[in-house]
Amino acid sequence: MWNGVETPHSAALTRELDWLDRVLNLRLEQHFQQRSEGLEAAEAPPPPPAGSELGRWVDQMRLGTEERLLLALALVPHLRPAALDLLFMRNENLERGFTEFGGIKAQAHGGFLPTGETAAFLLAGESLARRVALLELFDPRHPLVERGFLQLDLPPPGEPRLSGTLSLSSEALQLLSTGRADRPDYSLQFPAKRIESPLDWNDLILPPDVMDEVEQVCTWMQQGRTLMEDWGLARTLKPGYRALFHGPPGTGKTLTATLIGQRTGADVYRIDLSMVVSKYIGETEKNLARVFDQAATRRWVLFFDEADALFGKRGAVSNANDHHANQEIAYLLQRVEDFPGVVILASNLRSNLDEAFSRRFQSMIYFPMPDAEARLRLWQGMLAAQHLAPDVDLIALAQRHELAGGAIANVIRHAALSALRDGRQQIRLLELRTGLAKELRKEGRTL
């Protein structure tokens, strides 16, 4: 909850914006020849950012004075929106604003939004060499740009590169302000939802060979950077990791994806296919691009449940709709293959997916129906002994009825509700058998 108390993060940003204000005023004085000498770094040294998220960035990304000024300039519209209003001043000779100040007037915000030209004025003044050097700060390999924290938007076609708007990501703003990562909310603009589970790794009941393959995914998430950088495999391996979980419903595919995130400290986002897939040409690709673009620089696991609805087989082209559907699948294949993080697809039937996916997966993990021993562990893990009537024999139930974990949970839910309706704290065998019958009927089976 917000309490208005200053934190080390907000204190560091206050000092940083005060420093930017001083540098900007010195640059304006120089520009209007109110001072003859140039602007030297010693006249406005950057403040110490120690103990804050900004300080961590300075240390980890080795940010110099120029990068910090650029970052502060991008922060201003969010944290001190009136600080750049003086750049709205008009050139009386031309009866318009000063070209060298850059910037654009926002719409809802109403303030001055800095552009690359604004950054060039602040950092380079009239120095051509410094202006050219500024472009290196927007190189895709620069840490601030590579991580998606800072970007110079593309200007309209034919306009100078530095006329693009300087923008800060919502994640960067959240991190610098609070020290905590931003977690986007489920919306039309972001059709994905973060999933969690109260269960832990000990509750995951899988055969040893399946568990071993799941551990491989976890190891990649924890040690992948070491493998790519320290072992030098980045030259031969594509970034990212792609896994297919396939098998009957209720066998633990979604839970496993969730617990992989829990185990490795990563957020898991399940893509909502109902909001992604569109009948309008190009809209499905746009919807997915929003998710992939936001996830590209973050340590997220993207989880596509019932993936065959989106990644199904390409068919013969007989009309425009078939051609469009095949284009969608080709686009998805490429985005999944190029994604630098972890993507998990889940499907009840592997054969429903396009064959081109097979060579793109690092893991194809089959989740089988649990055997009798695993079913007993599932029954025991979900039902506390004190809630079982004496006539219930879980060993017999586990041996007699082949059910997936999800189906067992449904049986227990039905039986527990029946017991509570009767005012009892224990489940009887009759209630379990009724729940079993309901679950088996769903699959066309009987007791």
How large is the average pLDDT for residues 421-428? 94
Q: Which has the minimum average pLDDT: 15-19, 68-72, 111-115, 328-332?
A: 328-332
- Confidence class for position 347, pLDDT limits 50, 70, 90: confident
Q: Does the pLDDT of residue 374 top 80, yes or no?
A: yes
Kindly list the domain boundaries of the chain, sorted by start residue. 8-178, 192-366, 372-442
Retrieve residue 308's tokens.
């065959």
Q: Which has the minimum average pLDDT: 178-182, 338-342, 414-418?
A: 178-182
Fold agreement between 192-366 and 372-442:
no
Q: Does the pLDDT of residue 317 top 50, yes or no?
A: no
Contact of 415 with 379, CB cutoff 8 Å: no
Q: What is the pLDDT of residue 233?
A: 86
Q: What is the pLDDT of residue 314?
A: 46
Assigned CATH class of 192-366: alpha beta
- Confidence class for position 169, pLDDT limits 50, 70, 90: confident
pTM: predicted TM-score of the whole model, two decimal places: 0.72
Q: Percent of the chain scored above 90 by pLDDT?
A: 48
Task: Tell me the CATH number for domain 372-442.
Answer: 1.10.8.60
Q: Does the pLDDT of residue 63 top 60, yes or no?
A: yes
How large is the average pLDDT for residues 288-310? 81
- Confidence class for position 316, pLDDT limits 50, 70, 90: very low
Decide which of 206 and 3 is more confident: 206
- Confidence class for position 274, pLDDT limits 50, 70, 90: low
On average, the pLDDT of the chain sits at: 85
User: CA 419 → CA 224, 407, 413, distances in Å?
Assistant: 49, 19, 10
Q: Which has the minimum average pLDDT: 67-71, 173-177, 233-237?
A: 233-237
Strongest mean pLDDT among 183-187, 292-296, 301-305: 301-305
